[in-house]
Structure 1
Amino acid sequence: MVQGELTITYCVHIYRHEDEEMNLFQSALEEIDLEVMEVKVHQEATRDFLVYNNLLTEVGNDSAVLLVKSLESICPGKEYIPAALRKLLETRVVLLVLDYPVMMTKLDLETNHLFLQLLMEVYSKPKNKLVELRAEKSKRLGRRKIRYPENWTDLYEKWQVGEITARDFMKATGIKRGTFYHMAAEYKEYLRSGNSEQELSTER
């Protein structure tokens, strides 16, 4: 990694659970454009995350790269992801997640932490809430509510963070291009409004 004319070397910490194959991390490490000073492997044998917490303590305020399999590798479940990311944002750690290959392309701390903030926002949104989303204009004209596929929320989150493309999204839902972008715009307005009284009508 080059910042101006200065080449920065990093200590890379691989954090894995026993059921996560080591070769996945090795392959990812080979593809990363990074001057690696040292690689340390931390393996968690239980789900108490003691090894992970000790790892963060060891890193402290130093610059480092943390390579993990998924966001749920660093916390007990999806509902804990925002808190785990918030903790990392207080450090100088660049988090790389194998489940999000796009993260491997931008390794500077500023860009990485902007991505973590986006992920934190995505995972902070209420999931699987049956709410009806209706545009103000549609309300006045009495138009029918937009009906979203049942898997819309999960796919939308993956699309927003670059895990899937718009084309993948449309293929998974069977929605045509014009309709897809209209629905995405309406859904984005719902997320911005934070109005839990509106309802998103899903197809079942």
Structure 2
Amino acid sequence: MIDFQQDIRDYIACEIETINKLDIAAINEALNALLEAYHNRKWIYIFGNGGSSSTASHFENDFNKGISEPLKTKFRFRCLNDNVATLMAVANDIGFEEVFRYQLTDRIGPGDLVIAISGSGNSKNIINAVEYAKSCGNKVIGITGFDGGKLKQMCDISLHVPVNSMQVTEDIHMIFDHLMMSMFYKYLCGINHLQEKP
């Protein structure tokens, strides 16, 4: 039997240390950008590769169903990596670097918000889509790790996880989702999950 206990402690310590370095003001700015899109009935486009694609799908679920269920006015999230047929058609016929930009082209409207997730911040298909959104005048929230890469420099609001670990980066990206969900449950739905009783 292997004793993993110290390694477990080290992993948890890294999570805590990284969480304590997060830019709270940037998270607050992102929440207000989401709130503005919500009140103005705008679309919020979200996308990512690999594990980040799962995070993007989870965001859409938590906003379109979770937060929206108690609300008369619903959030309008659209995850660009969820339609496998579209992704494969664009990747095969045009190129994988265009799978997200293609879906934004001639669809993204004034005031729509983009959330781009990339651990490295350098994925070409993410950068192409962000460049297109910025060229249309749309605001971009970038969710990154490591040194943030190109995405951190290009986005309007940077939710950066300053750690050189993809696992910890992706863990904290999900914390962003659930933290935002908790804030909107409280301020839009009047539900405080931090005070839930078992």
Larger fraction in strand: 1
**Structure whose CA Rg is larger:** 1
**What's the TM-score bracket when you normalise by the shorter of the two chains?**
under 0.3
TM-score (ref. length: structure 1): 0.24
TM-score (ref. length: structure 2): 0.25
By relative contact order (CA 8 Å, sep 6+), the higher-ranking structure is 2
